[in-house]
Chain A
Amino acid sequence: MLELKNISFEVSGETDEKEILKDINLVIEDNQFIVITGPNGGGKSTLARVIAGIERPTSGQLILDGEDITELNVTERAKKGISFAFQQPVRFKGVTVLDLIRLSVGEKISVAGACEYLSEVGLCAKDYINREVNASLSGGELKRIEIATVLARGTKMSVFDEPEAGIDLWSFGNLIKVFEKMHDSIHGSIMIISHQERILNIADKIVVIAKGHVTAQGKKDEILPELLGNAGGAASCKYYQNS
């Protein structure tokens, strides 16, 4: 279980302080499938980066299974079982897909073993396993490899930042199956940042973040109708996209 207690994050701008996250309180239960949504620039990726330890909160605490991890760095948190798939995957010259999967697993697994993770994310393994994770890969391919690195780690807490971005419609259903399967097999917590109805639909819990605040959170059935605009009203500012 991961608890975020009064998490705030500020950056100092040229003239003043900018508060990107404001007093966020959130509990992610074991075995829970939580989806974070909300308008662009609302603070979702920042929250994910705070959880992974890439950004330190200005105030507040992160508690993982009762242990305060606020002061732990990225490596230490990774070792405690937090994984993070970036919104914009990183490219490496010279590091191959196989290298990256092996680093994710943490041991020198066989090529066949590594290929399984690629197959899961819908990449024909033999075409990719020896390729470099560099600019020659397409956006969607990189995104799938990024997801595979988190699958390969199989930790108790996995955070995916807009995993569906750039994934073609045809593969979308398979992607959802990947998350469902992961949910069933690892029994860990999965947090997905997403704008897609089909991903919101498989959530146990939905959290809406806007302007750095949690503006709504609750069970899918409570939040989703409101989000989809059944409540009517400010239709002109809908950020939410139907797929």
Chain B
Amino acid sequence: MELDAIQQQLLEAVAGLHRIPTGAYNIRANGKSAGRNSTEHIDIVPKEDGSGIDIIIKPGTKNESVHMPVVLSQTGLTEVVYNDFHIGDDCDVTIIAGCGIHNGGDASSRHDGIHRFFVGKNAKIKYVEKHYGSGDGKGERIMNPQTIVEIDEGGYMEMDTVQIKGVDSTDRKTEAVLKAGAKLVVMERLMTHGTQSAVSEFKVDLEGEDSGANIVSRSVARDESSQVFISKINGNNKCSGHSECDAIIMGNAKISAIPEITANNPDSALIHEAAIGKIAGDQIIKLMTLGLTEAEAEEQIVNGFLK
């Protein structure tokens, strides 16, 4: 299947792809498969009921990548996709997913991706996810991603998510269960503008001894937009957990940060930090003394903050 110009542009925005990637990939466009490639170590298999795909990465696979972009350019399309990643023991792989919606029409377009990760013992994965919306139709662009993670003993997952532009409404859920020695590191970057709304909810269960999670969210809410950040960390063993929400608020936006840390074991060390505030006035002034206008200064500060 050929991608049209809009789809190619979306593909570039979410996956940095100009053409067909190397390695394993699955490209989904307007609800259909637009290309798929398995490799010697990475098998991509459609689920029998057609609801999504299974990605099976053989134990010991190192330095390989999987690209999983989704593009939607047909107005009014609503889809739910289930993708399961089975990452074998001792792997070291990068998975790049992302979703771009272009909505030029008046009906809502919506993509709900449910990604489950089964990370094997001592495996290491980096998961990168970008969300992007474009198009000037009145139809909303909606994305409700769910990420469900199980990390086996000694496994490590780094999750890097970005949603900077054009998504009208998002309700993101991330759940993780960590066994002994497993680590999860999340860096979420979010910007909302106009009347957009975003909810991001994390729930992490630190089950195993010496498991650890670090969840960092940096966000900017402008105009009339609203954001809710919820993080729940349960320490059920000797473990460490840290969550941090750092937000810049502009215009008439609204932001809430709702932390919940629960220690069910006296050896769990849990920290939550949250800060919401305007751009500091002296930051703007410093950049103005370098010759930037107030608006240019704000732009620089916001870009740096979300970088």
User: Please, how many angstroms separate the alpha-carbon atoms of A203 and B144 in the complex?
Assistant: 64
Q: Is the CB of B304 within 8 A of A78?
A: no
Q: A93-B246, A94-B304 are in contact. Are A79 and B283 (CB under 8 A)?
A: no
- Determine whether A109 belongs to the interface, using a CB cutoff of 8 Å to chain B: no
Q: Does B300 lie at the interface of the complex (its beta carbon under 8 Å from any beta carbon of A)?
A: yes
A90 to B301, Cβ gap below 8 A? no
CB distance from A135 to the nearest CB of B (A): 12
Q: Which residue of B lies closest to A153 (CB)?
A: B290
Tell me the bound Cα distance from A74 to B282 in angstroms.
12
**Nearest CB of A to B17, in Å:** 26
B294 close to A (CB within 8 Å): yes
Assuming the contacts A75-B293, A99-B304, asked whether A90 and B288 have C-beta atoms less than 8 A apart, the reply is no
User: Do A104 and B290 touch across chains, with their CB atoms under 8 A apart?
Assistant: yes
A103-B280 Cα distance, complex, nearest whole Å: 18
List the B residue with the shortest CB-CB distance to A95: B304
Interface size of A in residues (CB-CB distance below 8 Å): 26
A93 and B304 within 8 A (CB): yes
Contact with B along A91-128 (1 / 0, CB 8 A): 01111100110011010000000000000000000000
B246: chain A residues at CB < 8 Å are 93
Among residues of B, the one whose C-beta sits closest to the C-beta of A78 is B291
Report which of B289, B292, B304, B307 forms a contact with A83, defined as CB distance below 8 A: B289
29 CB contacts below 8 A, A to B, read: A52-B289, A54-B289, A74-B289, A75-B293, A78-B288, A78-B290, A79-B291, A86-B286, A90-B282, A90-B283, A90-B286, A92-B283, A92-B301, A92-B304, A93-B304, A94-B218, A94-B301, A94-B304, A94-B305, A94-B306, A95-B301, A95-B304, A96-B304, A99-B300, A99-B304, A103-B287, A103-B292, A104-B290, A106-B291
5 further contact pairs, Cβ within 8 A, besides A74-B285, A92-B283 = A73-B288, A75-B292, A86-B286, A92-B301, A153-B291
